[in-house]
A = this chain, B = another copy of it.
Amino acid sequence: MALRGGLATEKGCVGVEGVRLVEEALGGGCRVEAVLFSESGERHRERLAPLIGRREMAFPVLKTTDRLFEGIADTEHPQGVAALVEPRKVEVADLLATPEGTCSPLLAVLAGVQDPGNVGTILRTAAAFGATGAATSATAQGGTASPFSPKALRASAGAALHLPVLAGMSLTILLTQLKVEGIHTLASCVQDETKGGSASLSPWEVDWCQPLALLVGNEGAGLPEDIVRGADARVHIPMARGVESLNASAAAAVLFYEGYRQREKQKQ
């Protein structure tokens, strides 16, 4: 079980480390291959016992020494608990579904977000504000860092495990499918970008209650030009001092907050 580097195994499994993440993995929808405790990690077993006990699919619960655990851990001060899990198998159809309690799909599409920490934070924020799914772009088109690397998983606080995430998707295919299925695509822009005569919207001018996919681009360069042009609408966060932009995760927080606000208002 190689936690370091976060490369998926041949079967597509990823290692998750730390009590909270293992808890999320055990409690969420992903298949668990094995759980590993180090000697000092045993103190967390009680907290996890109900989750380990109630899983229908049996999996081995392994023990190792602290020293061996430190050798495979990705963090500097490991908690001594890890699991090998298979992230949920997500199809485009899963992203089109409207989960119970929500009015319509709200997706985060990450196209070229390079920093694993940002990928995780954006997923966490999206999930916290009621997004129903996410997708990340494949390498060929300015790829997005893997949502399942240790750093991204930690930053996502487990959101990458319970939110349906379609990783490494071809943007062109995804956006076409979204369009066919009637999901509006909204390109997040750093500045007011008028394209083909239509200005970009302020977040509060967007109808967040319609089926919507928010496209988030690279930290520096933003979204590829053709993606911005092909989107149904563009959104930018207006500011009193127009010079500066928010960092990627703060901008995502503001946009998904606005979506949450509108969706909550509609519920009333």
Q: A residues within 8 Å of B by Cβ?
A: 121, 124-125, 127-130, 157, 159, 202-204, 237-241, 243-244, 246-247, 249-251, 253-254, 257-258, 260-261, 264-265
**Residues on the B chain within 8 Å of A258, using CB:** 257, 261
**Residues on the B chain within 8 Å of A238, using CB:** 260, 264
**Residues on the B chain within 8 Å of A251, using CB:** 253
CA A204 – CA B261 in complex, angstroms? Answer: 7
- Name the residue among A121, A246, A265 with the largest chain B CB count within 10 angstroms: A246
CA A121 – CA B264 in complex, angstroms? Answer: 28
6 contacts between A and B (CB under 8 A): A125-B250, A129-B240, A202-B261, A204-B265, A253-B254, A254-B254
Q: How many copies does the complex hold?
A: 2
CB pair B254–A128 under 8 Å, yes or no, is no
**Residues on the B chain within 8 Å of A246, using CB:** 125, 128, 253
Which B residue sits closest to A126, measured CB to CB? B240
Q: A253-B250, A254-B253 are in contact. Are A241 and B121 (CB under 8 A)?
A: no
6 pairs of A and B residues whose beta carbons are closest in the complex: A130-B240, A250-B253, A128-B239, A254-B257, A250-B250, A157-B244
CB pair B240–A260 under 8 Å, yes or no, is yes
**Residues on the B chain within 8 Å of A204, using CB:** 261, 265
**Residues on the B chain within 8 Å of A249, using CB:** 247, 250
CB pair A257–B260 under 8 Å, yes or no, is no
**Given pairs A121-B250, A127-B241, A129-B240, 9 additional interface contacts (CB within 8 A):** A128-B240, A128-B244, A157-B244, A159-B244, A202-B261, A249-B250, A250-B253, A254-B254, A257-B258
Which B residue sits closest to A253, measured CB to CB? B250
**Residues on the B chain within 8 Å of A129, using CB:** 239-240
The smallest beta-carbon distance between A209 and chain B, in angstroms, is 15
**Residues on the B chain within 8 Å of A261, using CB:** 202-204, 258
Out of B121, B202, B243, B253, which one reaches A253, CB within 8 Å?
B253
Which B residue sits closest to A265, measured CB to CB? B204
- Name the residue among A157, A240, A246 with the largest chain B CB count within 10 angstroms: A240
The smallest beta-carbon distance between A156 and chain B, in angstroms, is 9
The smallest beta-carbon distance between A33 and chain B, in angstroms, is 25
Which B residue sits closest to A249, measured CB to CB? B250
CA A212 – CA B247 in complex, angstroms? Answer: 25
CB pair A237–B250 under 8 Å, yes or no, is no
